[in-house]
A and B are shown apart, each in its own frame.
Chain A
């Protein structure tokens, strides 16, 4: 346990140094600012400024080629009365829920990969990580063929066990499920890499102690691995939730822009895209973007609020 206690001590030790750093900044005048200016300028120009602009534009009405007029809360009033918003929100939540099911799977798989003495461990790691680095469009192309109702391999396999598979990507309901399955599958690799790094930080002595106490592998998994992995799980949860709320390219590429189920299977970001870039209603699209921004912000905030209850932070 010595390593653990040093880690704890190092945390308060950092704080005063930070405070002294603040004093130094005051003393050094503008020099530190000069050095961070390129980064600050970049972030300000390409992240903060667009956010401020979008917030402003969400209160305006746009012509097709720019030129906006102030319209107050009109966009928001229209948005909250628009049934598309709620259906898009419902679809996005469904997608997020299914993709989040991948986290327990990733925890389990990561701990299997971390088994001491496992042969070809790095080969498996590459195998699981590949989908994450593949382009979503390319991934979607392949899955489209797999999901094909008449000639796809998935329905062929199902037919072998006597199940008459649906038209996955062209039946409302199943379409969202199909997208979520691919989303879950492709996010697994990223989650596993983060979790595997977390697993490496769990001191092996704990497992030895647990084993001496007679704990079964399952008990070691639930009482040692999972509790000590909660910070990594928390991080993966936040990142997966945010990226699930931003679902766009996978949906677009998997279903295709002329698919009849698309209007019923829109995600929030797709809804934003169709209003902003298909219907050229940029002010309205800005309002949708602000709502997405707020939803993600609130969800992330809530997650941070509740993390104290379950995340083991020492």
Chain B
């Protein structure tokens, strides 16, 4: 009796192991994107998940969904909030096992990874059926969510970059306030004048570049250069115009108009600015909240970025995408279409969540701080350039973080850093 029992035990354990093996391999059910769309009937019954990362927008989203449910009372939407830091690792795992939320937020740097791997449903069908019209959103944002002429995401909101300034500091230093038609030279002169005049108070005129979106991507575009070619296949860092855009920041730091790179990594530029130690800050429309919360809120205003060869700013925005593997695609698309509508985006803007992407719904954002010229960020869409991305953005972003700080601090020349950055970037782009 005993021996067979032992054998049973071994058999059982082995079976368990096999079961685990099988379970590990059974996640391969692939669902290819079809690009089909058929408007859902108003009595469609479904349960769908909407994946987002920003808790502060949930009230506005809930309001949107309440409106949506007037049209589709039987579609039950579960809003799933995952904090930013774990949103992407989680999404990656979900995409690997084809368990993505039915509808979810996508950003520029990650979009192509998901789009190229057929994880997202194109909006082609919805556009054909006139349910969504891309012309209602800034062109640069549509471009951001398009691969090979196929658009996957519907812009939900956007942010652009402006020149925030502390008028108190300008007054104390006796420097004229920034205007919307400033050139690089005007900016440099003002920054140096402030740093010189107020050195005793530890106040600087402006802060150098640490992060592309708010600083050197803008100057690269303004100088007529590019970060990456339009087809996303080659690096733009080895062009003379791009180097000029980087040199701008090296010179700013070198002239003493900006704190050093070390000072800026210890204390980020936004903190210098909101503590009244910085005259000007290149930053996005999102800084509105940080500025409003600071004790200098009354003296802070914003102007358009200074220009060089051309006027330019980086635009980025979140979009809503439908998972290709979703079981309730029709319901998910119904919600995607609803959230793309003027009414839904107007509601988002009125509740102060973000700058909505739908043209003509931005007034609520502009009015949210009457003393600050927030119109700058809306007008910027006319000359805005899409946030530079490719199929594997994160990989070359890591090279930027590795190589550019040495160029900004003057340890190596901009040319040298840009050349080796372009070389490294091209190897990962060729993959």
Residues of A that sit less than 8 Å from B by CB:
27, 29-30, 33-34, 37, 41, 44-45, 49, 63-66, 147-152, 167, 169-171, 256, 258-263, 274, 277-280
Contact = CB atoms under 8 A, between A and B. Distances in A.
Contacts of A256: 265
A274 B398 CA distance: 9
B262 to A, nearest CB: 4
A30 B392 CA distance: 53
A167 B262 contact: yes
Given A41-B16, A263-B402, A280 B263 contact: no
A256 to B, nearest CB: 7
Contacts of B398: 263, 274, 278-279
Contacts of B210: 258, 260
Nearest to A260: B405
Interface in B278-319: none
Looking at A30, A63, A260, the one whose CB has the most chain B CB atoms below 10 A away is A260
Contacts of A29: 2, 5-6, 9
Taking each of A37, A63, A65, A147, which has the highest tally of chain B beta carbons within 10 Å of its own beta carbon? Answer: A65
B394 A66 contact: no
Contact of A279 (B8, B9, B394): B394
Nearest to B398: A278
Contact of A170 (B13, B97, B265, B401): B265
A27 B5 CA distance: 12
A66 B97 CA distance: 8
Contacts of A170: 261-263, 265-266
Given A66-B96, A280-B113, 19 more contacts: A27-B2, A29-B2, A29-B6, A63-B117, A64-B92, A64-B113, A65-B92, A65-B96, A65-B119, A149-B263, A149-B266, A167-B265, A167-B266, A258-B210, A258-B211, A260-B406, A278-B395, A280-B92, A280-B395
Closest 3 CB pairs of A and B: A260-B405, A30-B9, A167-B262
A167 B406 CA distance: 15
29 contacts: A27-B2, A29-B6, A34-B9, A49-B20, A64-B92, A64-B113, A65-B119, A148-B266, A149-B263, A150-B267, A167-B262, A170-B265, A170-B266, A256-B265, A258-B265, A258-B401, A259-B265, A260-B210, A260-B409, A261-B265, A262-B401, A263-B402, A277-B89, A278-B394, A278-B398, A279-B392, A279-B398, A280-B92, A280-B392
A143 B257 CA distance: 29
B263 A167 contact: yes
B9 A260 contact: no
A262 B265 CA distance: 11
Interface string B86-112: 000100100111000000000000000
A263 B401 contact: yes
A65 B95 contact: yes
A148 B267 contact: yes
Interface of B: 2, 5-6, 8-9, 13, 16-17, 20, 27, 89, 92, 95-97, 113, 117, 119, 210-211, 261-263, 265-267, 392, 394-395, 398, 401-402, 405-406, 409
B266 A65 contact: no
Contacts of B96: 65-66
Given A258-B401, A260-B265, A65 B6 contact: no
B394 A30 contact: no
B20 A150 contact: no
A231 B391 CA distance: 54
Contacts of A33: 9
A171 B9 contact: no
Contacts of A149: 262-263, 266
A278 B110 CA distance: 11
B266 A150 contact: yes
A260 B266 contact: no
A152 B266 CA distance: 10
Nearest to B211: A258
B261 A260 contact: yes
A152 B265 CA distance: 13
Nearest to B8: A30
A262 to B, nearest CB: 7
Contacts of A171: 262
Contacts of B394: 278-280
A276 to B, nearest CB: 10
A150 B406 CA distance: 20
A63 B266 CA distance: 37
Contacts of A34: 9
Given A64-B117, A277-B89, A169 B266 contact: yes
A171 B406 CA distance: 11
A30 B5 contact: yes
Contacts of A150: 263, 266-267
A29 B113 CA distance: 54
Contacts of B119: 65
A149 B8 CA distance: 67
Nearest to A34: B9
Nearest to B260: A167
Tell which of B89, B95, B267, B392 has the most Cβ of chain A within 10 Å: B267
Contacts of B8: 30
Contacts of A44: 17
B84 to A, nearest CB: 12
B2 A65 contact: no
